[in-house]
Structure formats: C-alpha cells, structure tokens
A and B are shown apart, each in its own frame.
Chain A
Amino acid sequence: MSLTRPTRTEMINKQVRFKLNANAASLSILLFLQVLAFFLVVSSTVSFGAGEISVVESSTASHAALTIFWAFFSGISLGSAAKWNEAFTFVSTRLTHHLSSFIYMMVVSFMASLMAILAGPAARLITYMRYEEVMQSTQTITEAPGDFLIQFITAFAYILMVFVMGYTIQSFFQANRLLGGLYIIVIVAFLFTINLMLGISVVSAIVFAFIQETSLVLFLLKVIGAIILLMSLSIWMTNRLEVRKS
C-alpha cells in the first residue's frame, strides 16, 4: 500500500510522458509518410494539335492527406487493448487515462500539423529549384504571414479531430468487440435509412459542415464541439471496462 497519494495532475503528467515514449514510433511513421508525400506530384501531358503541353501540379495535398490518414490510424492504435493495458501499469483511473490520451493527441497533432504546414514552403522550394517557371496560387509567408498561421490552426484542428475520431471508434470496439461492431453497424444503418427516407446524406452534411465553413471562429467552435462529443463517447463507452485485461 502506498503512503503517498498522487494528485490527478501528477497522474496525467506521468501518463502523458509514458504515452509519448511508448508511442514514439508513430512519429517515425509520420516522418516516413511526409518524406513520401514529396514524391507524389501529379503530372500529365496534353496534346493540342500542333504542340504539346505538359502539366505538372505540385501541391502539398498529399502531405495533408497522408497526415490525416496517419492521425486516424494512430488514434485507432492509441485506443487499442494493448495500449489500454499499458496505461494501467501506473496508478491511473479511466478518466486520467482518457485525459492523458487527449493531451498526448494534442502534442502529437501539434507536431504533425507543424510538419504538414512547413512541408508547404519546403515543397515550394523544391518545385522552384527544379522548374524554371512556376505559377503559384498560394502566397508566400512574407506576403501573407497571417495566412500561414491560419493554415497551421486549420491543420491542427483537422488533425486533432481525426485523431480523436480514430480513438473513439477504437473505444467502441474496446468496450465490447461484438457490441462495438454492432453499434457501428447500427449507426451506419441509421445514416443509410435517413438517406433513403429523407434524401439527406448525414455523412456529407457533417463533412460539408466543416469543409464548407467560411468563418474560422465557427469552424473552431464546431471542431471543439465535435472533440468534446467524441471524447465523451469514448469515456462513456469505456466507463465500465476492466482497467486491466490479462
């Protein structure tokens, strides 16, 4: 029996450090994907009668897509049974586990968004050095420093939200492998029914609510709302789960 009683903050702090160390390999996976994205440049050749026009479109779209892809699967990995068991090696409660997971996701999402955003000027440099004439649709940091900051905030919000989404989906399965799958089937069936009966695509409506938002403040409020909802679902789903499964 321990004579010291750790505070919640101390527990969270210790767990965040542990999670950062235990999941350090995911940073290398992200790095690998980021490097890979530099090679994904779309190009095509169009023939126009007497001549030929070759089009090379260099963009950081693949950096964004691969980072989002990474965040989703990292979220799923973080919520897995193995990680759940690892978390309770220390003095911990279900709530501190989820809170420390969330802080971990914030820290890693911050690093991922930094990589995804800094890939922009880096890809621009490579493109400009490789080709003589480049038509650009984005302003440089010198021209619009505010845009760079806004891009970073947007990237961070999207990456964190997708990370939490993966974590929540895994929590459903964690709670009960069979019931978790059943819940997801019920949700998908419900969404399909609404689509068939009312002609409203709920998934599209949710996606568009984020990607078509024009106000940054409203977008951030929506993201915060979605994260609170998803994290609450995770906590609720795993509330009665054993702290350690042998």
Chain B
Amino acid sequence: MDDESIRGEKIIMGIFTVLPIVLLIMILILAMVGKGFIRKGILSFNRKFHFWAAFGFIGLLLIMTILAEVLYPTSQVSKAPPKMDNHFPYSLKAYNAISDDVIEGKKVDSPLLVASRTHEVGDQLEIMHRGEFYDFPMIYIERSDTASNTVEEYVYKPYMFVNDYDYTEQLNLHLPTWQDDTMTIVDMVDFQLNLVSFSDASLFKQFTSAGLGTVFSGGVGSSSASPIIHLIVPEDVEVIAPFDDVMFVEDMREEW
C-alpha cells in the first residue's frame, strides 16, 4: 500500500469514527430547527400524518421482512467461503501435502496448483526477488539427471484463513517472470477481501439461541503461508540464488 492510500484509509476510518457523533449533532440541530419551524407555522403536520407515517413505516418493514424471508430463508449463503470446522482444514492439509510429496519424490497432485510451465535456460539459472519479505515464496529445487536445459516450474498457492473461513480460493498469485536465464519474483501474493457480516442487535438477542457476539466481535485475524515454487532443474544448470529460502530437495531428503 502506498502512502496515499494509507492516508485515504485513515481519513475514511476517521470519518466512520466521528460519523455517529456528527449525526447525533445533526439530529439535535434538525430537531431544534424543526421545532422552531413548527412553532412559527412554517412547517405543520397534523396528527393523522404522524400515525399514518408510523403505520406506513411498520407496513414497509413487514413487507421487507417477508421479502427477506422469501429471498434469503437461511443464514447460510451459498456464495460464502467454506467455514472451517473442527477437523483439519482441507486447504491446510493440501498445502502441507505439497512439501511432503516433493520431498518423498511423489507426483504432486494438488488442488493448490496454479501453474505448471517449462522454460529454456542456458548454463545457469538465476533466481531474483524484488518485493516485501512476506511475499517471498518457498522454493524447492529438485535436480533432474536429464541432459537438457529445460526447467520445469510448478507454482502452488498457499492457504488463507480469515477467522473461521477458508479464503484460499480468493487468493491471487502473480507468477514469476522468466527472462533469459533469470526468474524474477515480484509481489506474488495479492488479495482483496471484502468481509461482510450481519447481526441483530446484541441487546435484544440476549435470550436467543444465537448468542450475543457478532461474526467479527473478536476482531479479524488471518493465517496464511508462503506460496510454493517447485523447480525441476537439470543437473548441469548452475543455480544462483542469493537467499537462504531456496531449498534443495536432495539435501532435504538426506536430512529426512
């Protein structure tokens, strides 16, 4: 996020913080002005108007209640992300399986696979990373004994949970760019989530089975991991990667 958008966000947050106070002041001013107008006879409502307005509003609310019940009869929305249950979450299980399968030399068949590509390189492969540390992926390099200069690349997205919901599907991944003998990773992970919750007033649902809390009453927390890039590089190709997070599968197997 750049400074401009952070500033904009702070302004919006500030507006929402003072909005109720501003509205309250507006109500009081309106009430005073309205009272003055009524007293002077500029504004006049007869008694029937107030009753009809109140009953009309209740009628409108009743119609909206019927519509709400007909259109959305259940609290579960089909488009909502899957809710994490007490069992081991599916996406987390799938994510952990990738590393296990790579190390064990099994064929990785994962729903988290985003891209599988091949690239032609020269005598060396340089891996570069530009961006923030939290964007940095986990890179597994596996050596193949084929006498070619073709590098196989498999990119897997990580899991992502926000509170109790699995948002893995909504994660966007920017694939590394390949130019000549260089693979460049820039800002891999990107997401823009809009979380919307609805709850009735806690004060009035004191004795209902729903409980007092709202979906986000405990705050918003996310848990995620790094994306995984699995490269199968021919033995003859030299790998230049100036960071520690590149892992050679053969070394890992020895340690295993």
Which residues of A line the B interface, CB within 8 A? 21, 24-25, 27-36, 39-40, 42-65, 68, 111, 114-125, 127-128, 131-144, 147, 150-151, 154-155, 158, 211, 213-216, 219
Contact = CB atoms under 8 A, between A and B. Distances in A.
Contact of A53 (B31, B197, B220): B220
Interface stretch (B115-123, B184-192, B231-239): B184-192
B204 interface: yes
Contacts of A131: 194, 196
16 contacts: A24-B51, A32-B27, A51-B190, A52-B191, A52-B192, A53-B222, A57-B197, A57-B216, A59-B201, A59-B214, A118-B61, A133-B79, A133-B194, A136-B75, A139-B209, A144-B208
A137 B211 contact: yes
Nearest to B189: A50
A40 B24 CA distance: 11
A197 B234 CA distance: 81
A28 B199 contact: no
Given A133-B80, A151-B205, A122 B222 contact: no
B179 interface: no
Contact of A139 (B75, B190, B213): B75
A32 B62 CA distance: 17
Given A45-B9, A135-B215, A34 B75 contact: no
Contacts of A34: 57
A137 B72 contact: no
B74 interface: yes
A210 to B, nearest CB: 9
Contacts of A135: 77, 80, 165, 195-198, 215
Interface of B: 1, 9, 12-13, 16, 19-20, 23, 27, 31, 45, 47, 49-51, 53-54, 57-58, 60-62, 64-65, 67-69, 71-77, 79-81, 132, 134-135, 162, 165, 187-211, 213-216, 220, 222, 224
Closest 10 pairs between A and B when the two form their complex, measured CB to CB: A51-B191, A64-B201, A118-B61, A24-B50, A122-B64, A125-B68, A121-B65, A147-B208, A49-B134, A121-B68
A64 B204 contact: yes
Nearest to B49: A28
Given A28-B50, A133-B81, A61 B202 contact: yes
Contacts of B196: 55-58, 127, 131, 133-135
A27 B216 contact: no
Nearest to B202: A61
A151 B57 CA distance: 20
A138 B200 contact: yes
Given A31-B54, A118-B61, A60 B201 contact: yes
Contacts of B207: 150, 154, 214-216, 219
B47 to A, nearest CB: 4
A125 B203 contact: no
A137 B213 contact: yes
B73 A142 contact: yes
Contacts of A151: 200, 204-205, 208
A164 B202 CA distance: 22
Contact of A55 (B31, B195, B201, B208): B195
B72 A128 contact: yes
Given A53-B193, A131-B194, 9 more contacts: A33-B27, A114-B61, A115-B61, A118-B61, A124-B198, A134-B77, A143-B73, A143-B75, A151-B204
Given A45-B13, A63-B201, A133-B79, A142 B47 contact: no
Contacts of A52: 1, 191-193
Contacts of B58: 111, 114-115, 118
A8 to B, nearest CB: 26
